[in-house]
Chains A and B, each alone.
Chain A
Amino acid sequence: VISKNLLAASTKPIILVILKLGENYGYRIIQQVREISGGALDWSEPMLYPVLKRMEKEGLIKAKWKMIENKRFRRYYRLTDLGLAELDKEKAQWMTVHAAFSRLLEATAGLG
């Protein structure tokens, strides 16, 4: 299980990446994340919406209501240019941390 803090910190970059794959909506995003992570990243589901809302307010993503199967509406999100740039930044940060972390782990590998 992933700690609360790490979960909170990783929400934004993961949403950005998923939306880079294409338009998506809340419920599906949650499902995809759960599948990809093999169930380790299990977001408390309705909590996603305030996060999406905040990212929308910051201009990282854009939303549009779409009619599906002529029955009801869903709100679809897609990445903006700003969001793309933000993703690059986030990626760079995560990679820096990851690289440092792995190098340190290698260094300690011999120590048992």
Chain B
Amino acid sequence: MFDLENAVDRWKKAMGKSRAIQDGDLAELEAYLRDKVEDLIRQGLNEEEAFRRAEAEFAGAERLDGDFYRVHTRRWSGRPPWQTPRFVPALVWNYFKIALRKIRRQKGSAAITIGGLALAMTVCLLTILWIQYEFSYDKFHENGPDIFRIVAETRRDRSNRRDAAPIPLGPALAKTLPEVRKAVRINYGFLNERIESPQAVIFKNATCMTDPDFFTLFSFPLIQGDPRTVLSEPNSVVLSETAARRLFGNGNPVGRTLLFLDKKFPLTVSGVMKDVPKTSHLQFDFVVPIQMVDVWYKNVADWSGRWEDWSQVLCSTYLQLTPGADIPAVEAKIGRLVQENAPKADYRLSLQSLSKIHLHSADIAEGSFLQAPPLRIDQVRLFAAIAFIVLLIAAINYTNLNMARSLNRSKEIGIRKVAGASRLNIARQFLGEALVFSSLALCGALVSTVLLLPLFTSISGRDLEISLVPKIPLALSLLGLTAITAVASGLYPALVVSSFSPAKALKNRLRTSRQSFINLRRGLVAVQIVGSAVLTIVTAVILFQMRYVETKDLGYDRKNILVTGYPDQKQGSAFKSDLLRHPGILSVASGLPPTLGAEGRRMAGARISWEGKSPEADVPMDFALVDEIYLQTYRMTMAAGRFFSKEFPADLKGFVVNESAVRAMGLHDPIGKSFQLMNRTGRIIGVIKDFHIGTLRAKIAPAVFLYSPYVSVSIRLDPRNIPAAIRHIEATWKAYNPEKTFAYSFLEDDLDRLYDADRKAGRILVVFGLLSLAISGLGLFGLISFFAEQRTKEIGIRKILGASVLGLARELSAEFVVLVGGAIVAAWAVSYAIASRWLAGFAYRIPLSWWIFAGAGALVFALTLAAMGVKAFRAARANPVEALRYE
């Protein structure tokens, strides 16, 4: 029988538990309840119904509670202390506690998962930092978005893309097109030209010959000098801080004189600029007015006719357009301008935006030494993919181990469900745990990233930094990384575990042998092994290619060659014969090392002709000035004819070409044919065997040698006596240049620098590959120990029945052998695709032979089996009594 007074009392008790409703308030609410009940009874309801309806209004008691609290409190948020903040789900502290307890109880597997995740996140973080760095190239220019560079290609077949335009184009565009605000041409001086101040002389330098607008179009900040006028005088030069220090010490260089080009050309320093940032695709120490070209190239050619020459593309040109200019329209206008001035031009021009130069120039011919080597976007993608695979492997580790362990936690889940937890609650708990794990891993990853960064910086050759002041993109990517890791690793366990039916979970009826579970776990392990095997194979391919690059016969002997400058033309030959007096010096030749392409001495095809040249032939060639000792100094070999020699004075006016040049010109019997380079005409006297000019990325280009004894000196040293020989060279140098510093370099070091980018990328990949192998090894080890644990009883019984240890170990690992084998086969296909794509960037490369795949596959197979074998063997050897004791 319903008793109203009892019901009200019970209601009062329940309401009284609230912390903010005071006795007086409660009495008033009671009065309200009674008023309402009376009212409802008057309307014809019975006592019970009336009470139920009136009581129902207090269902939101929690909110009422909060409203009362808010009347008293001075808290700014008005949130009662017993309510968790809205963004934290209820029970979160409990989840947190459970997660920490789990870590403490199962130190081994927690270490494996957190350590693996931390390693993987380290890889990702380093990759993110590196990619960020690569994308930061040329981003420091204020006019950046509006700056474009002109790219030329052959009109016929759109081949031979290169960074060049006709010389008169730039000024003409600035004058006639309203969209073009400024145009700047850049021509490059040769490396190893002589630059002299009263205190010092240097030979290694990068000189940029350009238009006066250079410093207002680009943002290379000046320390001294006005960017608008600093290049307006024809004899002015701007130099970098470092060059200023080397040439003038700490004195103020502005207004002082520098002698360029064998003392013949005095320039007055008009400004000093900050050193060019490493993240600029243009790299230079000196900037001089473009008119210098006339003098600079005098040795080889008469440049004077070129200022109005529209028929060929000879110098880099950069444009600053008005913001929002229509690029295709501008390109079309440029095309029309070219058409008007050079109706027969065999090139077409397009615009490349400044921000794309560093990463999207793979199809553009390797530029001058003034440009930082571009990075292929493929390379960036490869690294991003690798970082992703590594993270995936670590996430799979977590998923696998967590799935395995969650079955052991079925009691906890059962209790939670019985106590009213919804599926969502459980899923949230598991995801939360994954988040705890990945946050811990992030802490570890941050520490190891900071520790590894110096090492990574030195092997990658990039100035990476992880600053303590958080940067928003970096902070965001950290959060994103943590969240992605948590979701990737925790989502599946969360979904599966939350679907357990509480009754079964509590009775421990959940079977790990459910087919879908096993299949899934097998699949994940397979993915993991595929990932590691792909990384191993790709790493191996990169390693072999690197070794190939380092040891390939370049067509000349690169060992023990020292390169230095020369005193001046008059004393050149005396200097050389004095050098030869020392027994440690085997030969002395004039001429730069054969890495011509890398030095930027490429002559346009239009300037070259030969006997029987067809009108449409266009063969650009690298050229070098050498003397008669050059061949023997570099130990190169002739394929036909002879090299320059003093015995045949007539030959000195001739040319020596390489085999590629013969092929490109289509000559069958080249010796004796007449040949013309710019305005110099002679006969081809010999064909030299092909040698590598630039990096192995590029095919060997046609090249031609001219005789000239007055350039930098290459010296072959006796390897047994190098320090003494260097002392002798220095002493000789001082005798000819008493007040100048002696500067030299070894060819091998220079070559190393040339291959640096690839070698460094290779090293990073190797490190990443090893890391990922370690991570997946850890995961497999953990998983197998779990399987062995699950089957302890089975193993015990089998042993009692007489199974042998070996047989049991085989039985335990049989399933994995098939799995690992299959995964490796899949990995072969994937890594073949990746590796062949990467190798395609090299003109000279290793064949993708089967044994690389077989070897790497065998390695992964052996490692996984070894991990498995150890575990399986230990499980099989355990005392069966221990295993069965609890039955």
Pick out which of these stretches binds chain B: A71-79, A84-92, A95-103.
A71-79
Given contacts A27-B36, A27-B39, A72-B34, contact A46 B71 (CB under 8 A): no
- The verdict on A4 contacting chain B, using a C-beta distance below 8 Å, is no
Distance of A25 Cα from B34 Cα, bound (Å): 13
- The verdict on B616 contacting chain A, using a C-beta distance below 8 Å, is no
Q: Which residues of chain B come closer than 8 Å to A46, judged between CB atoms?
A: 29, 32, 57-58, 64
- The verdict on B463 contacting chain A, using a C-beta distance below 8 Å, is no
B28-72 near A? 1/0 per residue, CB < 8 Å: 110110111001000000000000000001100000100110110
Given contacts A72-B31, A73-B31, contact A49 B25 (CB under 8 A): yes
B168 to chain A, nearest CB (A): 65
Contact A49 B34 (CB under 8 A): no
A25-58 near B? 1/0 per residue, CB < 8 Å: 1111001000000000000111101100110010
Q: Which residues of chain B come closer than 8 Å to A74, judged between CB atoms?
A: 31, 35
- How many residues of chain A have a CB within 8 Å of chain B? 19
B725-759 near A? 1/0 per residue, CB < 8 Å: 00000000000000000000000000000000000
A9 to chain B, nearest CB (A): 16
Q: Which residues of chain B come closer than 8 Å to A65, judged between CB atoms?
A: 27
Q: Which residues of chain A come closer than 8 Å to B70, judged between CB atoms?
A: 50
Distance of A75 Cα from B700 Cα, bound (Å): 102
Contact A53 B68 (CB under 8 A): yes
Q: Which residues of chain A come closer than 8 Å to B32, judged between CB atoms?
A: 26-27, 45-46, 49
B interface, how many residues as a size bin? 10 to 19
Distance of A49 Cα from B20 Cα, bound (Å): 13
Given contacts A27-B36, A46-B57, A46-B58, contact A53 B25 (CB under 8 A): yes
Given contacts A49-B32, A75-B28, contact A54 B71 (CB under 8 A): yes
Contact B35 A27 (CB under 8 A): yes
Chain B residue nearest in CB terms to A51: B67
B14 to chain A, nearest CB (A): 14
Within 8 A of A (CB), among B5-40: 25, 27-29, 31-32, 34-36, 39
A3-34 near B? 1/0 per residue, CB < 8 Å: 00000000000000000000001111001000
Q: Which residues of chain A come closer than 8 Å to B57, judged between CB atoms?
A: 44-46
B446 to chain A, nearest CB (A): 45
Distance of A46 Cα from B62 Cα, bound (Å): 12
Distance of A73 Cα from B27 Cα, bound (Å): 8
Distance of A69 Cα from B469 Cα, bound (Å): 73
Q: Which residues of chain A come closer than 8 Å to B64, judged between CB atoms?
A: 46-47, 49-50
Distance of A36 Cα from B883 Cα, bound (Å): 81
Contact B28 A47 (CB under 8 A): no
A72 to chain B, nearest CB (A): 7
Given contacts A49-B25, A53-B25, contact A26 B68 (CB under 8 A): no
Chain A residue nearest in CB terms to B58: A46
Which of A47, A72, A73 has a CB less than 8 Å from the CB of B67?
A47
Contact B71 A50 (CB under 8 A): yes
Q: Which residues of chain A come closer than 8 Å to B25, judged between CB atoms?
A: 49, 53
Q: Which residues of chain B come closer than 8 Å to A44, judged between CB atoms?
A: 57
Chain B residue nearest in CB terms to A45: B57
Q: Which residues of chain A come closer than 8 Å to B27, judged between CB atoms?
A: 65, 73, 75
Q: Which residues of chain A come closer than 8 Å to B35, judged between CB atoms?
A: 25-28, 74
Tell which of B32, B58, B67 has the most Cβ of chain A within 10 Å. Answer: B32
B221 to chain A, nearest CB (A): 55
Q: Which residues of chain A come closer than 8 Å to B31, judged between CB atoms?
A: 25-27, 72-75
Distance of A72 Cα from B36 Cα, bound (Å): 14
Q: Which residues of chain B come closer than 8 Å to A54, judged between CB atoms?
A: 71
Q: Which residues of chain A come closer than 8 Å to B29, judged between CB atoms?
A: 46, 49
B70 to chain A, nearest CB (A): 7
Q: Which residues of chain B come closer than 8 Å to A72, judged between CB atoms?
A: 31, 34
Distance of A9 Cα from B70 Cα, bound (Å): 17
Distance of A54 Cα from B71 Cα, bound (Å): 5
Distance of A49 Cα from B35 Cα, bound (Å): 14
Distance of A38 Cα from B57 Cα, bound (Å): 21
Distance of A87 Cα from B34 Cα, bound (Å): 30
B55 to chain A, nearest CB (A): 11
Q: Which residues of chain A come closer than 8 Å to B71, judged between CB atoms?
A: 50, 53-54, 57
Distance of A28 Cα from B36 Cα, bound (Å): 10
Distance of A25 Cα from B28 Cα, bound (Å): 10
Distance of A74 Cα from B33 Cα, bound (Å): 11
Q: Which residues of chain B come closer than 8 Å to A27, judged between CB atoms?
A: 31-32, 35-36, 39
A-B contact pairs, 24 of them (CB 8 A): A26-B31, A26-B32, A27-B32, A27-B35, A27-B36, A28-B35, A44-B57, A45-B32, A45-B36, A46-B32, A47-B67, A49-B29, A49-B32, A49-B64, A49-B68, A50-B67, A50-B70, A53-B25, A54-B71, A72-B31, A72-B34, A74-B31, A75-B28, A75-B31
Told that A26-B32, A47-B64, A49-B32 touch, could you supply 9 new A-B pairs with CB distance under 8 A? A26-B35, A28-B35, A31-B39, A49-B28, A49-B68, A50-B67, A53-B71, A65-B27, A73-B27
Task: Identify the 9 closest CB pairs spanning chains A and B, nearest first.
Answer: A27-B35, A50-B67, A54-B71, A75-B28, A53-B71, A74-B31, A26-B32, A50-B68, A27-B32
